[in-house]
C-alpha cells in the first residue's frame, strides 16, 4: 500500500514538473540556465527548511523518550543520511540537460528520447543485478512502449543530433539518480543534501545565464520556484520513499505513466483538448504497466 501511495504521488509530481517546465521554457517565460538555477536554489531552500524542522522534532522527541544522556539509534541513523556527491552530480546533469534540450526539442521527441534512456538505464541495471523479467512482463513492457509511442509520435519530429544526445544524457542521469535511492534511510534528508550539494554548480550556471536576465518574467520565476520547491524537492523525496519498496525494473516502467498524467494536468490547468488518441494510448499504457507490476511469475530463459 505504501509503495502504491508513494509512487502515485511521485508520478503526479513528475507530471506537474513536466507541465511547469513546458509553461516556463516553451512559452519563453525564462531561459534554461536561469530556470535551472532557480529550480536548484528553491529545492535546496525548501528541503533545507524541512530538514531543520525534522531534526528539531526528532531531537525533542528523543529527549522526551530517552532523556538527555541517551541516543536513539534510529534517529541517529536518519540524521546521518546525507546523500552523496555522485547523486548530486546526476541530479545537476539531469536538470540542466533537460532544460537545455527542452528548448531545442518538441514535446513528443523529447519525451520519446528521455523515457527511452530512462528505461534502458534502469531496466538494464535491474536485469544485470538479478531482476530478470518474465515473459508476461516483457510483453507488458512492449505494449506499454507501443502505447507510449502512439501517444507521443504525432507531436514528434526529427531532432538534431546534439539535442537528442543531451536529452538522452538527461534520461540516463535520472535513471542512475533513481537507482541510487534504493538504499537511502531518510529520503527527505538524502534528497535535501543532494540538492544542497548541487548548488556548487549554481555560480557557473548563473554566470552563463546572466546574458538572459532581461528576458526573465515574473511568471518564469514563479514557475521555476514551483518546479524546484514542490515538484522537484518534495516530489523527488517521495520518489526516494518509493524506490526501496519497488524493484528497479518496476520503478522504470511506472514512469511511462508520467506523460499520461502530464497530459491530464494540461487538460485541467491549460484547457487542452481530450482526444480519442489520448484515451486509447492511456488505456494501453496504464493497463500494460498494471500487468507488469502485478505479475509475480518466475522469469525463465527463452
**Residue 13 lies inside a defined structural domain of this protein:** yes
- If you average pLDDT over residues 208-229, what whole number do you get? 95
pLDDT band, residue 79 (cuts 50/70/90): low
- If you average pLDDT over residues 38-42, what whole number do you get? 97
Structure-model confidence comparison of residues 158 and 22, the more confident one:
22
Q: Is the pLDDT of residue 209 over 60?
A: yes
What pTM does this model have? Answer: 0.90
> Exposed (0-12), middle (13-18) or buried (19+): which is 69, by Cβ within 10 Å?
exposed
Q: Is the pLDDT of residue 70 over 70?
A: no
b/e per residue 127-137 (b: at least 16 CB within 10 A): eeeeeebeeeb
For 54, the domain range is 2-294
Cell (9 digits) for 78: 536518519
State residue 150's pLDDT score. Answer: 93
**Residue 139 lies inside a defined structural domain of this protein:** yes
State residue 69's pLDDT score. Answer: 54
**Residue 52 lies inside a defined structural domain of this protein:** yes
- Number of structural domains, the chain? 1
Q: Is the pLDDT of residue 66 over 80?
A: no
Q: Is the pLDDT of residue 239 over 80?
A: yes
Cell (9 digits) for 184: 537511502
Lowest mean per-residue pLDDT among 53-57, 210-214, 227-231: 53-57
Q: Is the pLDDT of residue 302 over 50?
A: no
Q: Is the pLDDT of residue 156 over 70?
A: yes
- If you average pLDDT over residues 291-299, what whole number do you get? 81
**Residue 93 lies inside a defined structural domain of this protein:** yes
State residue 297's pLDDT score. Answer: 61
**Residue 300 lies inside a defined structural domain of this protein:** no
**Residue 301 lies inside a defined structural domain of this protein:** no
Lowest mean per-residue pLDDT among 74-83, 193-202, 205-214: 74-83
- If you average pLDDT over residues 138-162, what whole number do you get? 91
**Residue 302 lies inside a defined structural domain of this protein:** no
State residue 55's pLDDT score. Answer: 82
- If you average pLDDT over residues 206-226, what whole number do you get? 95
Mean pLDDT of the chain: 90
pLDDT tens, 248-291?
A: 999 999 999 999 999 999 999 988 899 999 999 999 999 999 99
Amino acid at each position: 500500500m505504501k509503495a502504491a501511495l508513494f509512487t502515485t504521488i511521485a508520478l503526479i509530481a513528475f507530471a506537474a514538473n513536466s507541465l511547469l517546465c513546458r509553461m516556463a521554457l516553451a512559452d519563453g517565460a525564462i531561459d534554461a540556465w536561469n530556470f535551472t538555477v532557480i529550480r536548484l536554489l528553491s529545492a535546496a531552500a525548501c528541503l533545507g527548511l524541512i530538514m531543520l524542522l525534522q531534526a528539531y522534532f526528532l531531537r525533542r522527541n528523543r529527549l522526551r523518550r530517552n532523556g538527555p544522556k541517551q541516543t536513539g539509534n534510529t534517529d541517529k541513523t536518519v540524521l546521518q543520511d546525507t546523500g552523496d556527491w555522485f547523486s548530486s552530480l546526476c541530479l545537476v546533469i539531469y536538470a540542466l540537460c533537460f532544460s537545455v534540450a527542452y528548448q531545442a526539442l518538441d514535446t513528443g521527441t523529447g519525451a520519446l528520447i528521455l523515457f527511452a534512456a530512462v528505461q534502458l538505464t534502469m531496466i538494464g541495471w535491474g536485469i544485470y543485478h538479478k531482476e530478470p523479467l518474465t515473459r508476461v512482463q516483457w510483453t507488458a513492457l512492449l505494449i506499454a512502449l507501443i502505447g507510449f509511442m502512439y501517444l507521443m509520435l504525432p507531436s514528434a519530429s526529427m531532432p538534431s543530433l546534439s539535442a537528442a544526445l543531451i536529452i538522452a544524457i538527461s534520461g540516463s542521469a535520472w535513471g542512475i539518480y533513481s537507482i541510487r535511492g534504493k538504499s537511502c534511510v531518510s529520503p527527505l534528508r538524502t534528497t535535501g543534501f543532494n540538492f544542497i550539494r548541487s548548488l556548487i554548480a549554481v555560480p557557473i550556471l548563473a554566470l552563463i545565464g546572466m546574458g538572459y536576465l532581461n528576458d526573465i518574467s515574473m511568471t518564469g520565476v514563479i514557475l521555476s520556484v514551483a518546479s524546484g520547491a514542490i515538484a522537484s524537492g518534495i516530489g523527488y523525496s517521495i520518489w526516494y520513499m518509493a524506490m526501496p519498496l519497488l524493484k528497479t525494473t518496476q520503478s522504470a516502467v511506472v514512469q511511462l505513466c508520467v506523460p499520461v498524467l502530464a497530459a491530464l494536468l494540461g487538460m485541467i490547468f491549460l484547457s487542452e483538448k481530450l482526444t480519442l488518441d489520448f484515451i486509447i494510448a492511456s488505456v494501453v499504457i496504464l493497463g500494460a504497466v498494471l500487468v507488469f507490476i502485478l505479475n509475480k511469475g518466475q522469469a525463465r530463459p527463452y
